[in-house]
Amino acid sequence: MPGGATLQAGDIHHVWNVFFLAAIGVAGTVYILIFWCILRYRRRSNALPPQFRHQAVVETACAVAALLIVAGLFALSYAAEVRIERTDPRPAATVRVTGFDWSWRFEYAGGGPTVTGTPDHPPVLVVPAGRPVHITITSADVDHAFFVPGFLFKRDAMPGLVSSFDLVVTRPGTYRGECAEFCGLDHAAMNFTVSAVTPQAYEQWLRTQRTAGRLLQFHGGRPQSRPAGAAASGVGAP
Partner 1 sequence: MSTAAALPVPGPRIGLLGWLTTTNHKHIGILYMTTTLGFFALAGLMALVIRADLTVPNHPIVGRQTYAELFTLHGTAMIFLVIAPFGLGIANYILPLQIGAPDMAYPRLNALSYWLFLLGGLVVMSGLLTRDGAAAAGWVAYAPLSTTGSPGSGMDLWIVGLLMVSASSIMTAINLIATTVLYRAPGMIMWRIPVFCWDMVVTSLLILMAFPPLAATLAMLLIDRRLGGHAFDPSQGGSAVVYQHLFWFFGHPEVYVMVLPYFGMITEIIPVFSRKPVFGYTAFVLTTLAIAGLSMAVWAHHMFTTGAVLNPFFSAMSLLIAVPTGIKYVNWVGTMWRGSIVFPTAMLFAVGFLLNFLIGGVTGVMLASPPIDFWTEDTYFIVAHMHYVLGGGSLFAVFAAVYYWFPKITGVMLRESWGRLQFWLVFVGFNATFWPMHLLGLWGMQRRVVTYPALPGWGAANLVATLGSAVLAVGVLVFLWNLWVSLRHRVPAGPDPWGGYTLEWATASPPPEFNFETIPPIRSERPVFDLHHPRASS
Q: From the list 5, 100, 113, 181, which residue makes contact with partner 1 (rule: CB under 8 A)?
A: 181
8 A C-beta contact, residue 7 and residue 170: yes
Q: From the list 86, 171, 173, 182, which residue makes contact with partner 1 (rule: CB under 8 A)?
A: 182
- Smallest distance, Å, CB 127 to partner 1? 18
Three-point CA angle 232, 233, 238, nearest 5°: 100
d(C-alpha 91, C-alpha 88), whole Å = 6
Q: Which of 86, 112, 226 is nearest to 167 (CA)?
A: 86
Q: Which of 226, 234, 203 is nearest to 116 (CA)?
A: 226
Helix (H, G, I), strand (E, B) or coil at 144: strand
Strand partners, 112: none
Q: Does 186 bind partner 1 (CB under 8 A)?
A: yes
- Smallest distance, Å, CB 25 to partner 1? 10
Please give the residues from 70 up to 129 whose contact with partner 1 meets the rule CB under 8 A: 70, 73-74, 77-78, 80-81, 84, 101
Q: Does 237 bind partner 1 (CB under 8 A)?
A: yes
Binding mask 192-211 for partner 1 (x = CB under 8 A): --------------------
Return the DSSP state at 98. E
Please give the residues from 206 up to 235 whose contact with partner 1 meets the rule CB under 8 A: none
Please give the residues from 138 up to 157 whose contact with partner 1 meets the rule CB under 8 A: 141-143, 145, 147, 149-150, 152-156
Helix (H, G, I), strand (E, B) or coil at 26: helix
Q: Which of 97, 64, 74 is nearest to 166 (CA)?
A: 97
- Smallest distance, Å, CB 183 to partner 1? 6
Residues binding partner 1: number (CB under 8 A) = 82
Q: Does 238 bind partner 1 (CB under 8 A)?
A: yes
**Dihedral (CA of 197, 203, 209, 215) sign:** negative
d(C-alpha 103, C-alpha 178), whole Å = 9
Q: Does 160 bind partner 1 (CB under 8 A)?
A: yes
Q: Does 161 bind partner 1 (CB under 8 A)?
A: yes
Please give the residues from 10 up to 49 whose contact with partner 1 meets the rule CB under 8 A: 11-12, 15-16, 19-20, 22-23, 26-27, 30-31, 33-34, 37-38, 41-45, 47-49
